[in-house]
Amino acid sequence: MFREHHKIEVMTNESLINKAPKSWSNSDWINYYKAFQKTKTTPVEFARSIWGGYSFTPVYKNGRRKVENFTEAWHMAFDFDNRGGKYISDAKTKELAIEDCKNNIDTFMATGYFEAKIEDVTEKNGRFVVPYQYGTNSAGLKYLMRHNSFAWHVASFAYATPSSLKKHPKSRVVFIFDTPITSAERFQEIYQAIAWRFAEEGSITDKQCSDPLRLYYGSYHSKNAGNWAVISDNEGSTGISMCQMWIDEYKENLPPEPPKQKTRRITPDGDTGRIYLQRFADNIRGAGDGERNYQRTRNAWAAGGYVASGHIDEGEAINVLVAAARSNSSTPDKAEAEIIAGIERGKNQPLHIEVRDVKNSGELL
């Protein structure tokens, strides 16, 4: 069987069980990194090593875990943790702003866990900005590996991470390839496509996992779920690999880039960003049959671009666009996930509020 006979290679470390303690010194970390060894194993042996609490990462060379030393990856792992964002409140105090946030955020599959620290609350333009997190069942094993889900069809196994709690589930889903990914760029391309598939089902993955040499801790005797599927990046009889089909689908659903025009950059006031954000919300709220998904994706992507350049506040963007999407969807939870994923993607391509370079034009792009 695949799980017992398919041979893969991975860097593993048996010098530590679960997570490293916060008290570790630099010398502790140096010794830990030196203990990584390339191991030839099988999917089930690999899973048992993780459930034994041992760390792992894809294969690298020269003894240093740097992207330029990436050699090959036979696996790809996705982390699912809490959801959150930033909430804009008109409350009079930081304490009341946190309470306002807790009572008004539109959560997805919430478990009851909520966290917002008063020391993280800031003030901007006379309003409080409240960073918050909440636990979601969409990060739990039961939801991720449910019957007929994406992971149920193609993931190899999944497990609860060491800090997972009932009201704050945290999970990791692991995919195994039939042949190794030998390029860091290809790894990231496949990662983005699979993360998008998860987002379509309402589960948002940790974007830091796109690092092709991300280090993962094991999880000693954790809850786990084995499926033992294998995915392929090789062309089969159809002439296209499974991974390439996902990549093509992901790219087809990305909004088109705006046309390039001769422009000059201006520094807008805070109200200008809100005007743009309201336009995006109106586009989403007014979308008709057959164009709702496109409008959600396109406008969330654009909002994310303006978030990245500082023209729009991220918490405000999430609040406004999620409300618009949920009000115009028969599947509001999926619509919310599309907005959040779109904003995250847009943040990778900063946009600037500009005017055409024509005298006295004054027209905003």
Q: In this prediction, what percent of the chain has a pLDDT beyond 70?
A: 87
Q: Which of 227, 199, 301, 248 is nearest to 43 (CA)?
A: 227
Q: Using CA of residue 89, residue 105, residue 170, residue 42, what is the dihedral sign?
A: negative
Is pTM, for the whole model, over 0.85?
A: no
pLDDT in the model for residue 256: 58
Q: Which runs of E-coded beta strand occur in the chain?
A: 8-13, 37-41, 55-57, 59-60, 70-80, 83-89, 110-115, 122-124, 127-136, 157-160, 171-181, 224-226, 263-265, 354-356
Q: Is the pLDDT of residue 262 over 50?
A: no
The model's pLDDT over 33-62, given as tens digits with 9 standing for 90+, comes to 999 999 999 999 999 999 999 999 999 999
| CA–CA gap between residue 149 and residue 155 (Å, rounded) | 10
The arithmetic mean of pLDDT across residues 270-292, rounded, is: 84
pLDDT in the model for residue 280: 92
| CA–CA gap between residue 9 and residue 59 (Å, rounded) | 7
The arithmetic mean of pLDDT across residues 79-89, rounded, is: 81
Complete DSSP assignment for 124-165: ETTEEEEEEEEEEGGGSHHHHT-TTSHHHHH--EEEE-TT--
Identify the band that residue 354 occupies on the pLDDT scale cut at 50, 70 and 90. Answer: low
| CA–CA gap between residue 272 and residue 285 (Å, rounded) | 20
The model's pLDDT over 133-164, given as tens digits with 9 standing for 90+, comes to 887 888 889 999 999 999 999 999 999 998 88
Long-range CB pairs of 292-299 (<8 Å, 24+ gap) are 292/328, 292/329, 292/335, 293/253, 293/338, 294/255, 296/321, 296/325, 296/335, 296/338, 296/339, 296/342, 297/253, 297/254, 297/255, 297/338, 297/342, 298/255, 298/256, 298/342, 299/255, 299/342
Every domain of the chain and the residues it spans: 2-81+139-251, 255-356
The model's pLDDT over 312-321, given as tens digits with 9 standing for 90+, comes to 888 889 989 9
